[in-house]
Amino acid sequence: MPLPTEQYLSVPIPESLYLALAQHSPTGVASNIVRILSEHLANKDEHYRQEYNNEGSFQWAQLTLPHKTQLRTKYYGKYLVADIINGKLIWNSKSYLSVSELINTMRGGTRNNAWRCTEIKYPNDSNWLLADRLRHSETKRFLSDAQ
């Protein structure tokens, strides 16, 4: 039997995600992951254009943060707020490459889990939402869209 010409990689995923996928397709988790990701990539551009008007957005893992989204963290009882401006993270007139770098700087150079100490407010929304919650709801939505 000829060897496949495609090269394969091993990608670590959380066990809970693997088990959730295994419930839907117990004998073909790997092929199911490939199918889901292929469909997602094929639909990604159109999906984000419709949902977020993706111009000027900042991508943080699975979260797309549109232009004028705000991020905040609380440090010594005071809220500090940064903005997404034309796809860049801006705080105190300085641009940051990652949310982790931003949050650690905002919190006095300390090391923090940005998912757990960042709240996000989308444009035209009045509610601040914990980034960790948004991340998990986005993963669930991705899995349900793939079925």
Helix axes 15-24, 29-52, angle to 10 degrees: 100
Q: Quick one: pLDDT at residue 58? A: 92
pTM metric for this prediction: 0.60
Q: Is 38 left (phi over 0), alpha (psi -120 to 50) or beta?
A: alpha
The series of mean pLDDT values per 10 residues for the chain, 147 residues long, is 66 81 75 72 52 71 92 97 95 96 96 96 94 81 55
Q: CA–CA separation, 107 vs 138, rounded Å?
A: 26
Q: Quick one: pLDDT at residue 11? A: 76
Helix, strand, coil percentages, rounded to 5, for the chain: 40, 20, 35
